[in-house]
Chain A
Amino acid sequence: MSGNKYSSIFQALDNSNHKGALKLCNALLKKKSDDSLGKLLKAICLQRLNEVEEAIKLADEVSLVPQTQEVVLNNLNYFYKSVKQTEKIVKAFEVSYNAQPKNEELAEGLFLAYTKVRNLKQQQQMAIQINKMFPSREHSVWYLMTILAMVKQDPENKLFIQLSQKMAEKLAGEKKFQSTEDLYLYEEILDVQSKYDEHLKIIQGDLGKLYTVPTEQLKIQANLQDKLGLHKESMESYKEIITRFELDEWSCYMGYFDQVWKVAEKESQGKVDKEALVGLVKSIQDQIKTSNQRILRGPYIAELEIEYRFIMQLDSNDDKKPIDNGRYLLLKELIYGYFKTFGNKPIYYYDMKKYLNLINSRVPLESKKEFLKGLWEMVSGQGERDRISHISNYYKVESLLSLHSELTEVQVRDLLSKFVTEYQLAFDQQKSTQQLSERVPGDDLLIIGYQLLMDLFDKSQETRYLVDAVVLLEYGFEASPKNFQFNLMAISLYYQLGDHRKALDHFRVLNIKNIQWDTIGYLILDDCIRSLPSMIEAYKFFEKSSKFYAENDSTADYIAECYKNHNYSKIFELQKFQDKISNSYQQLSSVTEKALFTFFLSKHKSSSSNNTSTTTTKDQQQSINIQQQLNLLQVPEHCYTVNDDQFKKLSFNMDLNVQDRFESDLKRLKYHYQVSTSSLSLQSNNDNHVSCGKVDQEFLKSKLVLRRLVLRLLVDSYRIKGAGTTVEQVDKYMDNIKLLSETIEKVKNVSSTPGLEITSDRDFDNIVYQQTVQVFTIFVEIYNQMKLNKNHLSVIQDLLKQYSQSNDALLKYIRDNMYISGSGVINARVFRMIANHFEQVTWFTELMGYVYSWLPSKKQKKKDETIVALRVDFDQCITKQIESLQSLDSEISKKSISTVTDYTNALKLTHFSTSTENEEVESLITKHRNNTIQSITQSTSIYLDEVLLYIKSLKSQLTPYLQ
């Protein structure tokens, strides 16, 4: 068969012309029906055309025939990866290799196939086989790597350990280690056994010469010497690095100091010769000065670190005890000194954080104030270039020293006014030289301003602070459009203010891609799926993130690449990475949320696709996709399984430190995004589940379990509705409801009072949870009654009544909180309430549809009293549901379009700053504020229209049940 034919098929596939490619394949196979490559390419076409089953059948045929062509095996690998059946590629290699055991390439291919699926036993067998048949240096090292992997998997297994040690010694003796990557294996084998002395000997001997970069070897050496208690020697190794090679390498300064203290402890009762230490550091400073190179930070911070260590050594057990005054003064002078040199760079804050934290926790308030006074004196004067950077750093320090936490509104406004005035002044001054790619000096001042406003909001929950905060961010964003910190902070603020469009705008600027969906997807996903008008957008985000998770399927290929390239040091790392992604909480959570969300969306398809003027053809296609997935039976099982093993391995990969914070570490991170995508709760500003850059893993896990159980119950309801339901199925269903209740207990806001009196958002959340359980219980109890003839009538009647009552309570709470203090301005918090409520009503509506189909019609002549009673209660419950939706509808329809003035009055927005000195700045801020309010009112109006459509959709689904 001519290669030409294949290349045109490949080309068609590359161009996503799958139908064309399929045609070419068929033509090719007509002439030669058993052509492996042709068949395989056809399988790929079919798979892309969504005919997966047939595709797999075809590929399986190919995989059972021994292959020699690399191109066939590579494409089989590709194909099985894309249908997630990677184990079959191993089979294909086995078949091919067994047919040609003398083919080295196939032998290697099979070995590598085992590495990809991590079948160590087979991998070992194959390594032995290869070494027997095709002995080579490389193959011996493969074998050693295989044994090392077995040791790592089972560190207690003495046999493997001995084997690996013997093998490594043999290879070393035969001089078969030729690079540091080979040597890595030997080093690991020794480290696993804690044979550090042997490791040190090797590093210092002939094999150590494989390290051609001297510092690489020295760092390993220093570390080993430390482990062996050779602290003096370790100290010298580190010293050699910082004095001869890397004069700025901080890890080695730290290593050096650690050793100095350890030596002192051993030899001179902990007495460290400070003068000698400082002398060394100063000599490094001089060395740099005389060599005329750029000034390096390391040797200067080292002075601070020495002082820090002396302070910590004195009273290591008491982290509150005030620092000895003499030492404090020294520390202070050093921090001042560092400000002189580096105070005009943002790095100042990061470098000093550790030492400032010490001052924050162990220096009295008065001294802190005095410290800041001294620092302020070093700030450049008006008109000088460094002034704005100095001021930025000054206020970052002030914030870190906890002097911002107790400020009153007036004080905050004074500061804001100062910040903005200085910022604008510097901006105008430096506009001509400002590089577009760089941040504007002073941006951080605005971020501190944002922090101050968020603190005020935290205490008072007054929306006006949010508005001011967002205005400050918009002002910064206009001046410094490449500072993504403004965007990061604006996203969640806008959602809190009900402006979904602006939130999405800021998110788009970030342009997040690939792995960022896993690490910072939390910035948007949860808010976006809870925002009724952004649902199509949310769907796209889900698609993008799932594309990333599919990328991880190729990670195993690169593990094999490491073997091929003899870069062994990355193998365990890549495996760990692969696991972290496949067990990613974000991934597991988003498949569940996507399914629940698709279900919700498909139920309201008609409402969401007709309404928006922005609907494009692409959006319509998207809705078609959603429609296709309407069938609950098609929801893949992995979206709702709760597998304990998997849940134990959950990996929380969120990057919570992406947003800058210039605050003390002691302060909890209060204003934050909703981290999980499995929310079912209101965006709450006192959410304690994220703090200090960590998430509450147990809590998130429970939430995920909760959402999976809901999805599972939805799917099972659909199954139960169909024919052939077994008693076991119903029992299992009831067990899952029980499990759901238990899980809810774990995530519930316990402080809430029971009953139907909703007085807080927390109560609201809890009632929604409670209703979720009721929905499924009502369904299964009516099933029991109708299909299994159990007499559960009174239970059902109670449940229906409770459901209606809690429904009323929820709707009342929404109506009561709809407007800001009696004004015509919508309180954006209700949007999230509505979304959560609607989700649950959608489940209710769906399940009541199933129930309705079992109930005999009203006209039926022979009437069973129980059924009549049930029918009456059912009707009543549905009627009440419709009524309450109607009342929400009228409440919303009543709304008057708010204007900027309405908003300003309703929120009691005052002047941004208290001073009126700087009119120019004030008018700039006013411009941003008016724009912001205008945008919020417009978005709110769009939002409300959307809500009305959802109400309409829910009503139109419920009404037929009454006939």
Chain B
Amino acid sequence: MTTIRRFECDDFFKFNNVNLDYLTETYYLPFYFQYLSKWPSLLSTATDVNGRTMGYILGKAEGVDENWHGHVTALTVAPEYRRIGLADRLMHFLEEVSEKVHNGYFVDLFVRKSNILAIDMYKKFGYSIYRTVIEYYSGEEDALDMRKALPRDVEKKSIIPLKHPVYPSDADL
């Protein structure tokens, strides 16, 4: 039983069963608030019937001209709610808002090169590898920049893979 709705400030008080998972970061307040005050429609949370948080997604809209797009900043699902297609639904939600509210050309996200599980999952959702960003994670691990074109990008130009990896400084982040 899943209900998806916009992320609300009250959710901060009860997202621990999600955030205690070691791969999920608990940011400091200004970070969250920057998102909430700028892109409230791109933050969604999923709850079960008891109101328990199952997972959430934080995103933003950014870029100029044909680079205008939705970006997934964080996507996380509590361990006990995994493998039921929740990430798929949350991503779908963000894609829909990126398309219909923000009128973007594509949606993109960054993922650790070693996180095969996640990369495969995003591929299943229709994302493809656009480029590698060298040492993006604390100067240690490479990131894969994965993208999915939205209807506005009719020719799907945004997802043509780059031939060479880029450094974070050149990545136009």
Measured CB to CB, the residues of A under 8 A from B are: 180-181, 212-213, 246, 248-251, 294, 296-298, 301, 342, 345-347, 350-351, 353-354, 435, 437-439, 482-484, 488, 510-516, 518-520, 548, 551-552, 554-555, 557-559, 561-562, 565, 567, 569-570, 573-574, 576-577, 580, 653, 655, 657-658, 660
Contacts and interface: CB of A to CB of B under 8 A. Distances in A.
A548 to B, nearest CB: 8
B85 interface: yes
Given A294-B85, A351-B49, A250 B26 contact: no
B14 A657 contact: yes
Contact of A577 (B12, B19, B85): B12
B124 to A, nearest CB: 10
Contact of B80 (A250, A347, A555, A569): A347
Contacts of B9: 570, 573-574, 576-577
A576 B36 CA distance: 14
B141 interface: no
B84 A514 contact: no
Interface in B65-109: 79-85, 88-89, 96-97, 100-101
B101 A250 contact: no
Contacts of B5: 251
Interface string B20-33: 11110011111001
A551 B10 contact: no
Contacts of A350: 1, 48-50, 52, 80-81
B134 interface: no
Contacts of B19: 516
Contacts of A482: 21-22, 79
Given A249-B3, A555-B29, A577-B9, A213 B100 contact: yes
Nearest to B1: A250
B49 A250 contact: yes
B26 A514 contact: yes
Contacts of A435: 117
B30 A558 contact: yes
Nearest to B31: A514
A554 B28 CA distance: 11
Main secondary structure of the interface of A (DSSP, over half): helix
B8 interface: yes
A922 B39 CA distance: 55
Of the listed residues A482, A483, A570, A660, the one surrounded by the most CB atoms of chain B closer than 10 A to its CB is: A570
Contacts of A580: 13
A520 B12 CA distance: 12
A513 B22 contact: no
A351 B1 contact: yes
A580 B19 CA distance: 20
A561 B33 contact: yes
B17 A657 contact: yes
B2 A519 contact: no
Chain B: interface size category = 35 or more
Given A561-B37, A658-B20, A212 B2 contact: no
Interface string B36-72: 1110110000001110100000000000000000000
Nearest to A354: B49
Given A212-B101, A346-B80, A565-B37, A658 B16 contact: yes
A298 B2 contact: yes
Contact of B2 (A297, A353, A483, A574): A297
Nearest to B29: A551
Contact of B26 (A437, A488, A512): A512
Given A296-B85, A297-B2, 14 more contacts: A250-B3, A294-B88, A301-B1, A353-B49, A437-B23, A482-B22, A512-B26, A515-B26, A519-B12, A519-B13, A558-B34, A561-B34, A561-B37, A657-B17
A515 B79 CA distance: 21
Contacts of A554: 29-30, 33
A514 B27 contact: yes
Nearest to B78: A346
Contacts of B100: 212-213
Contacts of A249: 2-4
Contacts of A512: 20, 26
Contacts of B30: 551, 554, 557-558
B8 A573 contact: yes
B48 A577 contact: no
A347 B52 CA distance: 12
Interface of B: 1-5, 8-10, 12-14, 16-17, 19-23, 26-30, 33-34, 36-38, 40-41, 48-50, 52, 79-85, 88-89, 96-97, 100-101, 117
Nearest to A250: B1
Given A561-B33, A574-B9, A484 B21 contact: yes
A484 B20 contact: yes
A379 B133 CA distance: 47
Residue from B14, B83, B84 whose CB has the most chain A CB atoms within 10 Å: B84
B97 to A, nearest CB: 6
Contact of A514 (B2, B3, B28, B50): B28
B50 A353 contact: yes
B96 A658 contact: no
19 contacts: A248-B2, A249-B2, A249-B3, A250-B3, A297-B2, A346-B81, A438-B82, A439-B79, A482-B21, A483-B79, A484-B22, A511-B22, A514-B26, A515-B13, A518-B13, A561-B38, A574-B9, A577-B9, A580-B13
B79 A658 contact: no
B100 to A, nearest CB: 4
A552 B26 CA distance: 15
B21 to A, nearest CB: 7
**Which of A438, A514, A519 has most B Cβ within 10 Å?**
A514
Contact of B29 (A212, A552, A562): A552
A576 B11 CA distance: 12
A558 B37 contact: yes
A567 B40 contact: yes
Contact of B16 (A345, A438, A520): A520
A574 B97 CA distance: 22
A437 B117 contact: yes
A943 B165 CA distance: 56
| Nearest 8 A/B pairs, CB to CB | A577-B9, A558-B33, A561-B37, A212-B100, A251-B3, A346-B80, A250-B1, A658-B16
Nearest to B23: A437
Contacts of B36: 558, 567, 570, 573-574
Nearest to A693: B50
A351 B19 CA distance: 21
Contacts of A567: 36-38, 40
Given A213-B96, A516-B26, A554-B30, A298 B1 contact: yes
A249 B49 CA distance: 11
A551 B28 CA distance: 8
A866 B97 CA distance: 84
A250 B86 CA distance: 13
A94 to B, nearest CB: 24
Nearest to B43: A570
A347 B37 contact: no
A212 B99 CA distance: 9
A351 B47 CA distance: 11
Kindly name the residue among A248, A354, A552 whose own CB sees the greatest number of chain B CB atoms within 10 A.
Answer: A248
A762 to B, nearest CB: 32
A655 B13 contact: yes
A510 B20 contact: yes
Contacts of A181: 40
A915 B101 CA distance: 63
Contacts of B29: 514-515, 548, 551-552, 554-555
Contact of B84 (A251, A347, A653, A657): A347
Contacts of A573: 8-10, 36
Nearest to B8: A573
A448 to B, nearest CB: 14
B134 to A, nearest CB: 24
A574 B79 contact: no
B59 to A, nearest CB: 14
Contacts of A488: 20
